[in-house]
Amino acid sequence: MIELADIHKRFGRVEALAGVSMRIRAGSVHGIVGENGAGKSTLMKILTGFISRSSGTIRYNGRPVQLRTPRDAARLGIGMLYQEPLDFPHLTVLDNFMIAAPEHDPGRLRQQLVRLADRFGFDLAPDSAVERLTVGERQQLELLRLIHRRCKVLILDEPTTGISQRQQEILFAALRALRDEGRAILLVSHKLAEVRSLCDRVTVLRGGRAVADQERPLDEDLLLRAMFGSLPRRQRAVRARDRGRPILAMDHVVSAEGRSGLHDVTLSIAEKEVVGLAGLDGSGQAVFLRIAGGLLRPDSGSVRFPGCETTAGAGGGDRQTVFLPADRLREGLIAGLSIREHLLLAGDAPFFLAPSTGRARAEKTIADYNIIGRPSTPADGLSGGNQQRLLLSLVPEPARLILLENPTRGLDVRSGAWMWRFLHQRMRDDGAIVFASPDLEEIMTQATRIMVFFNGRIILDAPTDQTEIRTVSRAITGRVPEDAGLPAA
């Protein structure tokens, strides 16, 4: 039905897709799996017309097509169910259903909506407000809208994240029914269990290439190996050290923030530990870090910092815990403020400031931290690596617990290496580092302990030097290892 041939997509120097070819058949469920950054989202965006490919051809029923805009895709009957439902929360279910309809006929559309919902066993009241629905129900509504629009190709992006088991069963039953009607369904997922139960065919993307293609029955080990490759076992940069006293303790922490939320996390992180958080994006790591950093309050459960003078309140008033966000310019630094002004904000600036106040200190910091810039350079005028070094230089001296989100994102190899050398040197004997990274190799070489997040839960928690990369990659796809050192919860 859809044929992709040698699709390339370049973003500047980065090649997100490096020649992907695949065939999607009518009447089948086609799985697309791969780790973060494998090119899944880019491929989906090309198919739905949000971005255009750099080269390659797309054939639809044998005819070459362009897909320049989302309209083109919609006209061909390609529809996508996004992770975050694209609906209008303030309107009713019926209003949302009618929005895409070509004619305005509430009476008839109401009937059609009820009929469609009945057919798939969805329980959607036409007059309830969409903001009251669960994610799963909003997804059902979105699906009905796509079906009503006569979509022949349905793309689903991680559809089971954040929905209940029951809703998942209903969804899968609906998808099977749609497949049997002859539609093509493209399922993007990292959960091997659902891929196995639903997909007739699976393509594995890795580094922008289709590295494996399997038909039912699926060989899970083969898929795993294709997804994660075999990582070279490198010399460990860090050995597990003796754990000291606990520095961060979470007790049954629950949060509904983020895509997957955080479910009942109980753990303790000790002095001298470097903890790497693995898992697909949005599996709960970001929420975990923000709760630990005091930027989010958990819905229930407690967060304690044994041995710290104060507990982290909202606003990060506690300077013993610092959080360095992934989106450095948006969340960590202040565009428009110079290096000197950032240092003044972080330090104890006097009330009256002359243009020279803090300049000497800024110059020293610039030299100490290898920042390429001048005291007057605004943060938004710095490159990614220099922004990261500026953030690091702002970490206050007494900070014991350093939380980092994707610390090497956007950094070249040298900047990344410099940062890790710095972090290990800077770490106090009574301190700890917790970082999230999409890069397993980074976690395995820099961390002493790894925690794998899946759907808002920590499903693997083990010392890195006693953990096989295979175990980790299985955990990322939702397979709980039998012998994993899970915390006694």
Partner 1 sequence: MNPSSRENDLPSRAAWPWLLFIPALATGLVCLLLLALGMSPLAIGRALGSGSLGSWLKFSHVLSVWSPLLLCSCGLLFTFRAGLWNIGIEGQVIVGAIGCTAMLRLWDGLLPPSVLLPLALAAGGLAGGLWGILAGELRNRGGVNEIFGGLGLNFVAQGLIIWLIFGPWKRAGIASMSGTDLLSPRFWLTTPPGWRVAPVALAVAVLALAVTILLLDRTRFGLHLRAVGANPGAARLFGIRPDRVSMRAMLLAGMLAGLAGSLQVTAVYHRLIPAISSGYGYLGLLVVMLANYRSPAVPLIALFFACLVTGSIQLPITLQIDSSLAGVIQGAFVLSALLVHGLRRGKD
* Contact positions vs partner 1 (CB under 8 A): 295, 314-317, 319, 322-323, 325, 330-337, 341, 344-346, 349-354, 378, 380, 394
Q: Which residue has the tokens 């001048």?
A: 374
CA atoms of 177 and 174, how far apart (whole Å):
5
**Cβ closest to partner 1, residue 279 vs residue 407:** 407
CA atoms of 86 and 96, how far apart (whole Å):
10
CA atoms of 139 and 117, how far apart (whole Å):
12
**Cβ closest to partner 1, residue 389 vs residue 457:** 389
Residue 342 CB, shortest distance to partner 1, in Å, is 8
Residue 482 CB, shortest distance to partner 1, in Å, is 41
Of the candidates 460, 476, 423, which has an alpha carbon nearest to the alpha carbon of residue 445? 423
Residue 479 CB, shortest distance to partner 1, in Å, is 36
Residue 314 CB, shortest distance to partner 1, in Å, is 8
**Cβ closest to partner 1, residue 178 vs residue 296:** 296
Give the list of residues 6+ apart from residue 360 with CB closer than 8 angstroms, or none.
none
Residue 197 token pair: 């139960």
**Cβ closest to partner 1, residue 333 vs residue 366:** 333
Residue 403 CB, shortest distance to partner 1, in Å, is 11
Q: Which residue has the tokens 């009330």?
A: 351
**Cβ closest to partner 1, residue 354 vs residue 488:** 354
Is 463 strand, coil or helix?
A: strand
Residue 115 token pair: 């009929």
Of the candidates 214, 208, 147, which has an alpha carbon nearest to the alpha carbon of residue 174? 147
Residue 460 CB, shortest distance to partner 1, in Å, is 30
**Cβ closest to partner 1, residue 240 vs residue 295:** 295
Residue 319 CB, shortest distance to partner 1, in Å, is 7
Of the candidates 326, 287, 315, 319, which has an alpha carbon nearest to the alpha carbon of residue 305? 319
| Gyration radius of the chain's alpha carbons | 25
For residue 345, what are the β-bridge partners? none
**Cβ closest to partner 1, residue 97 vs residue 323:** 323
User: DSSP of 129-162, one letter per residue?
Assistant: BGGGS-HHHHHHHHHHHHHHTT-SEEEEESTTTT
Q: Which residue has the tokens 């169910």?
A: 81
Residue 351 CB, shortest distance to partner 1, in Å, is 5
CA atoms of 40 and 181, how far apart (whole Å):
26
**Cβ closest to partner 1, residue 381 vs residue 463:** 381
Of the candidates 58, 49, 60, which has an alpha carbon nearest to the alpha carbon of residue 25? 60
Residue 132 CB, shortest distance to partner 1, in Å, is 20
Of the candidates 358, 412, 418, which has an alpha carbon nearest to the alpha carbon of residue 383? 412
**Cβ closest to partner 1, residue 183 vs residue 342:** 342
